[in-house]
Amino acid sequence: MSRYRYGVIDYVGDDVGVRGREEWTLSVAEDGTRTLRAHCRMWDTEIERDVVHTASAEFRPLRSFISHRVAGEFLGEGWFVFGAETLESELLLGGTRRSQRVALTTPPPFFVPHAVCCDAWIVPSYDVAAGGSQRLSGGFRSSPRPNGATGPYAEEMSDITATLLGEETITVPAGTFLTWHFLLTSDGGAREDLWTSRDGDWLMVRLRSDRLSSTYELTELREEADRGRGE
């Protein structure tokens, strides 16, 4: 039987308070394939994004769809398919249809479609048993901008260095969670602290970005039973 979860993430700016919000759902199929669906709104920059991101039971990306607007105007959308040897995408950018094909030497370990909930799925490829600092190579993103406000267009990322700082119990508005605390370093030294759930779903519980002067926190989490099925 498949599982279903619903969550809300608040984007909190250091000086402005809540500057955006993201609602997401997670469905996990019987074979372990899982899909995150997210609606993201950044009120200060007027970015609105819809994401449907599907990964394997091992959290490798399989398919991803992204559509976004800026200040109410359509920016672009894309559908990305990740194979063993090729990344293929169909894009609509500036009203122009484009296709993209990227040869792969190995299936990508992660894809960043710029929904914050999906950022937590960067680290499942990290070897927790080995610990220490590890380079996560071969991942892709849909935009080089931290807020994802270009494209979408698949771009291979430079290596991300992930360091497991430890197991931490933290409290956010959605509750108290046992988490892994990671330090992520990329893009010439940009640093982010990421706390992910340890329940097998690798949920984004908290993300701190000094580059964006923002903290992203899980403010609501519900299970399928909480939504009611009329049973």
* 140, β-bridge pairs: 111, 156
Considering only the C-alpha atoms of the chain, give the largest distance between any 2 of them, rounded to a whole number of Å: 53
Asked if the model's pLDDT at residue 107 lies above 80, the reply is: yes
**Rounded percentage of the chain residues whose pLDDT exceeds 90:** 84
In a domain, 161, yes or no: yes
In a domain, 109, yes or no: yes
Confidence tier at 225 by pLDDT (50, 70, 90): low
**Rounded percentage of the chain residues whose pLDDT exceeds 70:** 96
CA angle 196, 56, 7 (to 5 degrees): 40
pLDDT for the residue 187? 67
**Total Cβ atoms within 10 A of residue 97:** 8
Q: What are phi and psi of 142, to 5 degrees?
A: -95, -10
Over the stretch 119-172, which tens digit does the pLDDT of each residue have?
999 999 999 999 999 999 999 999 988 888 888 999 999 889 999 999 999 999
Asked if the model's pLDDT at residue 1 lies above 80, the reply is: no
In a domain, 94, yes or no: yes
pLDDT for the residue 226? 43
**pTM for this one?**
0.92
> Buried b vs exposed e over 181-190: b needs ≥16 C-beta within 10 Å?
bbebbbeeee
In a domain, 208, yes or no: yes
**Please, which contacts does 162-171 make with residues 24 or more away whose CB atoms are closer than 8 Å?**
162/122, 162/123, 162/126, 162/133, 162/134, 162/136, 163/132, 163/133, 163/134, 164/126, 164/128, 164/131, 164/132, 165/193, 167/198, 168/195, 170/195, 170/205, 170/206
Confidence tier at 178 by pLDDT (50, 70, 90): very high
Which CATH number do you get for residue 44?
Answer: 2.50.20
Q: How far apart are CA 34 and CA 192, in angstroms?
A: 25
**Total Cβ atoms within 10 A of residue 82:** 23
The gap from C-alpha 40 to its chain's centroid, in whole angstroms, comes to: 11
Q: Smallest Cα–Cα separation from 40: which of 76, 11, 17?
A: 11
In a domain, 62, yes or no: yes
In a domain, 66, yes or no: yes
pLDDT, average across residues 70-90 = 95
pLDDT for the residue 158? 84
Asked if the model's pLDDT at residue 186 lies above 70, the reply is: yes
Over the stretch 16-60, which tens digit does the pLDDT of each residue have?
999 999 999 999 999 999 999 999 999 999 999 999 999 999 999
**Total domains present in the chain:** 1
In a domain, 231, yes or no: no
Confidence tier at 231 by pLDDT (50, 70, 90): very low
Domain that holds residue 103: 3-226
Sign of CA dihedral 34, 129, 169, 204: negative
